[in-house]
Chain A
Amino acid sequence: TLSERLESAFKRLRGRGKLTEDQVNEALKEVRTALLEADVHLNVVREFISRVRERAVGQEVLKSLSPAQQVVKIVHEELVGILGGSAKPLSFSPKPPTVVMIAGLQGSGKTTAAGKLAGWLKRKGKRPILVACDLQRPAAVQQLVLLGEQVGVPVVTRDGMSPVEVAAAGVEEAIRTNRDVVIVDTAGRLHVDEELMQEAADIKRRINPLETLFVADSMTGQDAATVAAAFLERVDFTGTVLTKLDGDARGGAALSIAHISGRPLKFISDGEKLDAFEPFHPDRLASRILG
């Protein structure tokens, strides 16, 4: 673990109550390696390291901690600060329905997350409705319809309309049937696909969602930084959902996404069952990223 590596790195460095520059630099070499192995983007690692260095040099070492533990404590706190997360992951409109749009790369887990979010909201006493706006992937609409059945939430589908029109129709249906949260699933798209990024922006402009959730796969590598920056610019999301956390990827992509976008992580998906979905807590992910 990082703690163990730091302890052994510090064996050779004498300190006396305050963290010395030598100790901190030695520690940060190990932290850099740990974060890169965890898939955090190189530029994010650099910025993170310099932030930690500023905080750490000259800092008092608490009586109860070793110097190595003190550095880990600072690093962990900085990570938690960036990763964000809050008790209230979703805002609700004072005038219902609340519109939530889901977006992200192909295969990241959006459709499943849409179903899970609907189930979670229903358990919280809300009346959600799902809208199937992925008209391009084979059987995507059917997939969402089946998930809706599994969680007991209605699904809006339309034939012969564009995704933008289906989204608008979904919001109208929600109002008509007195649903208070509209969850709009969209097709996976590449941030470099100009046409599809424009479509996402068009959907957003049409339905004016209060929340736009960027769904990201926790096993994503360096590319997470580029993708997050592009989605922020073209679609502008309000929060991130991190998926497939039941795997053993360290999840450093989450740090890249949070740092670059400044948007909080809101939910995690950690299983294939529809109830494997919960509000994000930064503590556990911070420890996981550090390894």
Chain B
Amino acid sequence: IFNRGSLTEEDWEDIEALLLQADVGVVATQRMIADLRERSKKETDPEAVVQTLHAELVAILGDGDRSLARNEGGLTIWLVTGVNGTGKTTTIGKLAGRLAREGKSVVLAAADTFRAAADAQLETWASRSGAEVVKHAAGADPAAVAFDGVRAAKARGSDFLIVDTAGRLHTKTSLMEELAKIRRVVEREAGPPHEVLLVLDATTGQNGIAQARAFTEAAGVTGIALTKLDGTAKGGIVIACQQELGLPVKLVGLGEGIEDLAPFDPHAFVDALLD
């Protein structure tokens, strides 16, 4: 009579706990579990169910092109945005390092004119890779710095311009308008940025989706850089970012050194998530 070997309620709770504790979110988890239970009615092995879930998550994340968009034969412009403290400036430093290793010439625009020592921090990173820095005095208009960055990169025939912006909470209307203006100014001067990165901290909870939505609306985000994945946070919010907003993760930050940057690997990510 007993269906020995089928999944117990406790097995299902364990799978649900895996997803919830990975910051996948309540509603998304409930939907996934319901769908999984439907598909696994005949399944007797919990391991097989987890494998199905693994495949499902990898499918959601997709296998699209994750490389950062470039302008072959011209100036490539990347705009870097996100809330406070997520790792924007550090990620830019790492990108500059990677580009230098490719033999590319890089200009960094220090468009965070607000936070104490923001330009000094970016300059230190620039010196580690030989990138040039364009900066203004503290309190200057960030859009003006971005504008000057474009001018300087064009004048020098540089391969890349990366624009660093101040951390800003998406709830601050004036700051989001400032970001929209930075993007507009760059676009007027050199066309749409080839990549607009949203830097998300892997420890971020459900607020990450609100951030992604707001930044996409303000600046047209094209990809996510997920930082601090060398910690214990799973970064499960990026699943909703992909599923609800179509935003792919393009980069992951794995530490504080110049080499600690890697392309996003959906399989490795889901492996770690379900671990």
Contact = CB atoms under 8 A, between A and B. Distances in A.
A41 B205 CA distance: 10
A139 B228 contact: no
Contacts of A191: 231-232
B85 A37 contact: no
A217 B170 CA distance: 15
Nearest to A148: B116
Interface string A208-232: 0000000001011111101100000
Interface of B is mostly: loop
Contacts, number: 131
A67 B232 CA distance: 41
A282 interface: no
Given A139-B120, A221-B203, A247-B207, A227 B232 contact: yes
Interface in B92-127: 93, 114-117, 120-121, 123-125
Contacts of A250: 206-207
A250 B171 CA distance: 13
A127 B177 CA distance: 40
Given A221-B23, A247-B169, A143 B116 contact: yes
A221 B116 contact: no
A166 B93 CA distance: 27
B21 interface: yes
Contact of B233 (A221, A244, A246, A252): A221
Contacts of A137: 121, 256
A190 B255 CA distance: 10
Interface stretch (A5-13, A104-112, A175-183): A104-112
B86 A246 contact: no
Contact of B84 (A140, A192, A272): A272
B216 to A, nearest CB: 16
A220 B203 contact: yes
B232 A217 contact: no
A290 to B, nearest CB: 14
Nearest to A33: B26
A168 B172 CA distance: 40
B219 interface: no
Contact of A109 (B23, B84, B237): B84
Contacts of A146: 116-117
A219 B121 contact: no
Nearest to A46: B17
Interface residues of B, number: 44
Contacts of B17: 42
B204 interface: yes
B87 A106 contact: yes
Given A108-B85, A244-B84, A142 B120 contact: yes
Nearest to B237: A221
Nearest to B23: A221
B26 A37 contact: yes
A24 B201 CA distance: 37
A227 B202 CA distance: 13
A147 interface: yes
B57 to A, nearest CB: 17
A153 interface: no
B116 A219 contact: no
Contact of A220 (B20, B205, B256): B205
Interface in B66-85: 83-85
A221 B204 contact: yes
Given A36-B26, A223-B232, A247 B86 contact: no
A235 to B, nearest CB: 16
A38 B23 CA distance: 11
Contacts of A272: 84, 114-115
A198 interface: no
Given A106-B228, A221-B233, A247 B171 contact: yes
Contacts of B120: 138-139, 142
6 contacts: A38-B206, A223-B231, A244-B169, A246-B172, A247-B83, A272-B84
Interface of B: 17, 20-23, 25-27, 83-87, 93, 114-117, 120-121, 123-125, 169-172, 201-208, 210, 228, 230-234, 237, 256
Interface of A: 33, 36-39, 41-42, 105-109, 136-140, 142-143, 146-147, 150, 190-192, 217, 219-224, 226-227, 244, 246-250, 252-253, 272
Closest 6 CB pairs of A and B: A221-B205, A107-B85, A39-B205, A138-B124, A139-B120, A223-B233
Given A138-B120, A221-B237, A227-B232, 4 more contacts: A36-B26, A37-B25, A37-B27, A138-B125
